[in-house]
Structures are given as C-alpha cells and as structure tokens.
Structure 1
Amino acid sequence: MLVYVVDHNGQPLMPTTRGAFVRIALKEGRAKVTRTKPFTIQLLYETTSFTQPLSGGTDPGRTNIGEAVLDAGGEVLYNAHITTRNEEIPDLMAERKAHRQASRRGERKVRQRRAIKNGTITFPLEKERTPRGCEKPIVNKYIRNSEARFVNRKRPANWLTPTTNQLVETHLNAVKDICRLLPVSDWILEINRFAFMRMEDGSILGADFQNGRLKGYPSVNAYIFALQGGCCACCGKPLIEHYHHIVPRHLGGSDGPENIAGLCNECHGKVHTGKLSLDKLGKAKKYAALSVLNQAIPFIYDGLVELFGQEHVHICFGWQTSEQRKRLGLGKTHDADAVCIASLGNGSQPRQIPEPYEIKQFRRHNRAIINNQRERTYKLGKETVAKNRKPRFEQRGHSLESFLKSLSPVWRLDACQVMEVSKSTRYYNSEGRCMPGTVFYRCRRKTPGFIHGDIRRQGPSYGIMPFVCLHIILMQASRRGVMPT
C-alpha cells in the first residue's frame, strides 16, 4: 500500500510503502493522518526534505480527465480519473439568467404600480424608446425603462466564458491537489487542436478553412435568408419574421444554419403550439465538448507555467500518446493515457499500473433554491384570505384578484384598507439537508430488519456497514421521520 507523506510544515515528501513504519509512527504520536483518500500522513517532527524528480501528466477533456505521476524508474505513484460537471454549467447559467430576469421584471412591476398610485405615469401609456446601448426600440409601459445595464460593463483581458473558465479551473485545481501530496517537479500536457471543418471533410486544406459556407454573409440569419430565398420554410410565403431553432438550445440544439429555419409569424406560432412539426429537420450540437476544450487548453498551459515555470512544463500530442499506449499494450482509458503522457515526459517505461482513483465533481450549493421566494400572504385580522396577487400555477385557494371579485363592491374597498400584507419570505436550505456525495452508514443492531437501524454520517466504534443505495435509505428514513445529515 502506497502512503503519501508530508513534513511538519505541510510540504510533500516521497511516498512510502513501509507499513510498519507508518503504524508505529501513528501509534507513538510522531505522525497523524491528514487524509484517508488517498491515505496521507503528516510527520510531527523535523526531517530532511530530500526528494526525487517526479513527472506528472494530464489527459485533458471536458467530462473526463486523466491524471498521473511517475518517478524516474517508471513507478506509477498517482493515477486518477476525474469526472467533471462542466456540462451542467450552460444549463445553470441559463437558469440563473431566468431568475435574474424574473427579479428585474418584478422590480419593474413595483415601479409601475408605484407610478400609477402616485400619478407619475408617462403619456402615452405605451411609448417606444431606444435607450443607449439598444439597437431596436423597446415599448415602455407607464414608466421609462432604465438604461441597458451592459453599457458600462467591460470584460477584462483574457476573459473566458463561464463554461471554459470552470474547465480551466478544474484542470489546474486537480494539479494543485496532486502537488499537495507529491513533490512533482515537471508536468506534461497533451495538446490537441480540433479542426471541425476537416473532421467533416478530410479534403479541406490551407485556405479552404477560410472559404466556408458562411463566407460573404454577415450572420447566420443572413445566410438562412439567402438559402431560403426570403421565403418561409413551411408555407413558402415570401416573408421571414422568425429564425427558429429546430432543436431548442436548452436541449442541446446547435446555433449553426443546419438547425435554424426561417418562418413566418403564422407558421412560427403553429410550431410552438404543436400544430406543426420540424422534428425531421435540425441538428444538435456535435462538437460542443471539443469546442470548449479548444478554448481551454491554452489557458491550462499558461496556468501550469505559473505553477512549475516555463522550463518544467512540456507538451505532447495525441498521436504520440496513441503510439506510446500501443507500445505499452494499454487500453484506451483516460488514466492510462495520463500514464503514457507522464512517461513521455521523463522517458521511463511504466511498470504495473494500479487501479485509478475515481474522483467526481458535484455541486455544493444551489443559489436558485437559496434565493427562492415563497408566496406573499393577505390577512384580515388573523385569518388568511388570499395568497399572491394573481394565482400561481396550480394554486389552491383564493388569490387577491379572485378574493376581491368574490366581495361585493361595498365591502371591496373596506377590505383593501384593513387588509394586512406579509411579504414573501426567502427560503434557505436547512443545515441537515442531504448533499451529493454524502456517505451514509447503518449501525448493526440486534433487532432484525433494516427499519430498526440508525442512519448516521459517521458510525460509532462498533460495526458499521456502508450503503450505496441512497434511495432506499432515504425512503426508510422518511418512514420513521428521520432525515440523515
């Protein structure tokens, strides 16, 4: 068993396989356990810091990343397969955008109601205005809309999209975590640049990359307009009012011309109401993962240079990794590729490769749930008479609108004057909620059956048994009114 060792200052030393030394040091109090996966101890006394040169390798990817560290003799000291959550980022950004728009829409409605109450509304009631930073005029109702918020925003140098930035940080954080365990001196990164046009057509060379189908058109919509001759793709009417994504973007639809259809207003409405189908057309994103990786690799390399220095960061290419893998007779896995990449850096021949550590990213917090607001309440005295100004989806009971309609005109005004309104309260996650990645244990009791066991995060000194099936645990816990923490 390989045990990772750090000195009393937290600096990594060479790992050891001397199990007896580790047991005696822990028993005598000369060392302590700092991590269990992978098993790491910290020495509590001063020692020398002599280390050997180690080479690390990264097989980059969007969803799957391979990491490995080898010494000069070819012994694999670390081997891991990382599963990222990068695919979730676009959906989470779209969700955050929806929450932000709903919040600003609510603020705007408050200003409108305040303007109506104080008699400061604009005339005419609906007026078109083109704020600074907007290309098309917008309709202002009752009040003047504020200026576009993005006008004064400036992106810093080397700005990355949230998806690419998360991927870069994932790669660099994985390397930093390894450097806390092992004194790595050099790092090797596999560089791949994917040419999508050539992946579609292998005959494309040189200037052919500049002569794509969109050459000469200012936008994809202009290309669609010329391709369809200015006519609707469904009915043939010589009018295009909407450029519709056949496969919606939130379902992985592409922004390319193969997934966009020019439609008139009537056909566009039929498509959204299900009366007209375009399922046989359109394509999903084909190279989304490779596109993000193309953007991230240069910044991953720059981050490694900051960590190790220019002279200690090396690169290799995919064909070199493939030849090394065939030479060693290894399977096509991400952790095996990482071992091949690390061996290319120090010129060693890897020995027996151990089972890799499986690392999976998961989301720790949910901002959308934390900032979620519940319905507001209207009371007459101590009695709740309505919730929300207008009924929400599948609401049971009166809303303010339906409650006032149920009153006679004589009592309606009096009810509005004495009615108390409590604002919607924010909902925060409880501290005892179940987090992804939590491990639950069942304590062995004398009483038979699963229902009689206690569920705890950390079991007592007597026998405990880990359970993988979280669904069964939560189901049994809910029957007894116990929520695992």
Structure 2
Amino acid sequence: MSNFVFVLDTTKKPLNPVHPGQARRLLKLSLAAVFKRFPFTIILKEEVTETPKKITLKLDPGSRFTGIALVQDNQVIWGAELQHRGQQIKDNLTSRRQLRRGRRGRKTRYRKARFLNRKRPPGWLAPSLQHRVDTTLTWVKRLMRYCPINSLAVELVKFDLQKQENPEISGVEYQHGTLMGCEIREYLLAKFNRTCKYCGAVDQPLEIDHIYPKSKGGSDRISNLTLSCHLCNQKKGTQDIKVFLTGKSDLVNHILKQAKTPLKDAAAVNSTRWKLFNSLKELGLPIETGSGGLTKFNRKRLNVPKTHFSDAACVGQVSDNLSFKTLQPLLIKATGHGCRQRCRTDKFGFPQSHALKAKFFEGFQTGDLVSASIPSGKFVGQYVGRIAIRFRPSFVLQLPNQKFNVHPKYLTHIHRNDGYNYAFK
C-alpha cells in the first residue's frame, strides 16, 4: 500500500491523485510522463477541465519530526514524515561562535563582533526554531502545487512543562514552582544531603554537574542537575552518564529517574506553534485546529498504530470510517543546501582552505540523485546514487555500500538536489 501519485495536466493544473497502478498504466501507454520523482508526480499530455475532489492536508508538528497526511473522502491517500535539522543548526551556530571568539582572543583577522547594533523583528525565533516553521511551510506550499488541496488541519498543542516533570503537582505548589523560597545550590545541597552523587564523598566542596551534558543537548533545568565532588566532575567531563558509570547500572538508573523526561522538544513545540499557525493562515485556505488529546482519542478510537503520519491523519474532526490507502509514507530528511562558510578551518579555528564560489560543474551539483550507466571498466553496470562533484570530469558516486569515481558523461539526472534526502519506510 504505497502513496498515491500526484497528477498534473499539460497546463500544470493539479488533478486528483491516482493509484500507483493507474499511474504505471498511463506511463506505459505514453499518455503521461514523469514530472517529478519526489514527491512522485506525472504530467498528462492533454488538458483536463473537470473539477478535482476536495483534499485536506493535515499536519502533526513536532520538534524533530512533522507528520503530513492527505485525506480525500475519508481516505488517507498520501503520507510523509518530515525530519527537521534544528539541533544541527544549533550546533553549527555554536561552532561558529566559538571559532570567532577564539580568533578575537588571538587578535587575528576576524569578522568584528556585533553586539547591540542588530534589532530583532517582532515574532523573531532562533534559527533552529525558525527552521522548523520554514521547512513545514515549504512542504505545504510544494504539495499545494501538485495536489488540489482545499483545506488545512493542524494540531495546535501546548505542553505543560511543570506537569511533565511532576504529574502530581497541583494547587499552590504548581503556582510557586520547584525552587520557591530557595536558591539552586541550596536546593541541591538539601536534596542530595551534601553528598557527591557519583562516589558518595562527604565533607568536601561540591560542584553543580549536569547529568546530561550541555554540550550534548542537556538543559539547565533543576531535574538535570546534581552534585559532585571536583574530582568526579573533572573525570566525567562531557561523557554520557552511562559511559562514565560503566558497571554501576543501579546507580545510573537511580540518577536517570531523577533526570526525568527531557523538555527540550516540548519547549520547541510551544515556541513555534503560533508562528506556524499564523504562517499557514496567510496561505488563504480554511484551517482547522485540534488538540493533542483529540488526536490521541481519534487514534485510539480507530485503533491506528502510532506513527507521525498516522497521527497527522487523526488531527481534528475524524469520522469513524477513516481508512488508510497507504502504509508506506515518504521519509523526508532536511539536509540543507550546504555551508556558506567561505574560509574552512581546522579544529583549532585556524584557516585551512577556501570554498570555491561555483556550485555547479557540467550541469551537476553535489547531492544530485543520478543514474550511472558505465559501459566498461572495473565498475561496469547500472547504478543509482547521489554524487559529490569535483571541478574536473571525475565525480564521486555514493552508493549505500561503496563509492567510486565516475565521469559525468555516464550520468543522467533523476532528481536534482533540493536540500532533502528521501526514502521509504
């Protein structure tokens, strides 16, 4: 049960999506041609005047994944799971900031620091959060070009972070929060009885340590903090706690219970939900919203397995006869369009090489999906993979299990690089 195929007429007007079998028949009879590989779209060789049926695009926005589903006549005909790269953007910005700070410290040539001379516009979001909104909006607009979408439905959920940390909290305690009336250090000293959590040392100066290291995405929230002596803190460094306490599974489990559920993903969804909703409203289509509780209720009522795209299909008002015509969603992974950094540096921040200005060579760019037909030599045969270009007629063809050099004259484009990788579950 694969995704339905998008159909355009000869004027590029979107028509009703068709079953893959029907699309194969149209292609075999030369009544249509392949227009786009991802999402798979065919274009007819004639103009069609009939009005397409109504289709609703449903979204289940998340921090790392966004579920996408197209519903027509209570049938889920197309699904996708979009993987964001917010953490990668955050890591890249942190690396850039550290390199520039190091160059300023060495008093070498650098891009001067700009502190208070840049104003943030109203509604500004951090780049790692704005990326989630932009990527989702990009795919909504892309699907609107290939499919006759008449309405939208989006899950507008707000996570209660205090309830996630402590489900039993209520009343005055909920209003005051965890640290009411005390500082963080005093709170931790009382909580851990002035003892190092790793080695049990007492009567020593104790330091605040992050259970999940900040360098690996850990937060400063109180449930991610513990006490340790100076020796344990230095020895642990940025290691994962399971690596640092190898062979002490009981102690690891005890500490991880105190760390509880990470709240970074919930905070990201809370920060972007209204920005995404207002951006979708600007598209001019009717938009329906639903809560996370309603989505879960619909999924349980229909006995649907929990996946990102099936959650999207259960957003908003759903009838009892909803059926899935596809169980193989398109997996979309955001990879970006490369790096804009002109001066490449080594791990110490010193200049190492300079990126070339050109991105294309003989009509190809790095990341293009190509078909290689090699007539002779060691690698004779037919291959399909992505390429990494060089500025000479010798590209690297990257396959799942190997890679080798190939001349561009043996290559044919299948799908040009658009900043995403595609696969099927």
Provide the TM-score with structure 1 as the length reference.
Answer: 0.62
Query: 1:473 aligns to what?
Result: 402
2:287 alignment counterpart? 313
Please say if residues 80 and 357 of structure 1, whose CA atoms lie closer than 8 Å, have aligned partners that are also in contact: yes
User: Amino acid of the residue matched to residue 224 of structure 1?
Assistant: R
* CA shift digits 1:129-170 (9 cap, x unpaired): xxxxxxxxxxxxxxxxx8x73222222111112221111122
Q: Distance in 1 between matches of 2:382 and 2:171?
A: 68
CA deviation string 1:70-101 (max 9, x = no partner): 12x22323222222223322222212222332
Equivalent residue in structure 1 for 2:218, among 237, 240, 253? 253
Look up the match of 1:59: 60
Between Structure 1 and Structure 2, whose CA radius of gyration is higher? 1
In structure 1, C-alpha distance between the alignment counterparts of 2:225 and 2:128, rounded to whole Å: 24
1:223-259 deviation per Cα after TM superposition (whole angstroms, max 9, x unaligned): 2256549x99777567x9x865454311222212344
Q: Which secondary structure does the structure 2 equivalent of 1:361 belong to?
A: strand
Distance 1:288 1:178 in 2: 29
User: Does the 8 Å contact 1:252/1:285 carry over to 2?
Assistant: no
Aligned to 2:276: 300
- 1:361 maps to a residue whose letter is K
Say if 2:24 is the partner of 1:13: no
Alignment RMSD: 4.4
Between the two proteins, the alignment pairs up a number of residues equal to 371
Q: Distance in 1 between matches of 2:103 and 2:120?
A: 24
Distance across 2 between alignment mates of 1:165 and 1:424: 31
How much does 1:339 deviate?
Answer: 2.0
Distance 1:206 1:6, change over 3 A: farther
Aligned-pair distance for 1:292?
0.7
Which has the larger displacement, 16-25 or 185-194? 16-25
**Comparing 155-164 and 347-356, the one that deviates more:** 347-356
| Residue number in structure 2 paired with 1:223 | 184
Residue 22 of structure 1 and its aligned partner are, at CA, apart by 3.1
Report which of the two has the higher share of strand.
2
CA separation of 1:334/1:22 partners in 2, compared to 1, >3 Å: closer, same or farther?
same
| Pairwise CA distance, 1:208 | 3.4
Mapped to 2, the partners of 1:368 and 1:21 lie a distance apart of 44
In structure 2, the partner of 1:379 is none
Report the AA paired with residue 89 of structure 1: I
Aligned residue for 2:297? 323
Q: Which structure has the higher relative contact order (CA within 8 Å, separation 6+)?
A: 2
Q: Describe how 1:348-363 pairs up with structure 2 within 5 A.
A: 349-363=321-335
Partner of 1:160: 125
The answer for the alignment partner of 1:426 in structure 2 is: 354
CA spacing shift, 1:84–1:43, aligned 2, 3 Å: same
Give the deviation of 1:45 after TM superposition.
4.9
CA gap of 1:232–1:370, structure 2 versus 1, over 3 A, is: farther
Q: 1:50 to 1:288 in 2, by over 3 A?
A: same
Distance 2:123 2:149 in 1: 28
1:22-171 aligned at under 5 Å gives the runs 22-23=26-27, 26-27=30-31, 32-43=33-44, 45-48=46-49, 50-71=51-72, 73-106=73-106, 108-109=107-108, 149-171=114-136
Asked whether the 8 Å contact 2:86–2:132 carries over to 1, the reply is yes
1:261-295, CA deviations, whole angstroms, 9 ceiling, x for partnerless residues? 688xxx758844779x9967785971211211121
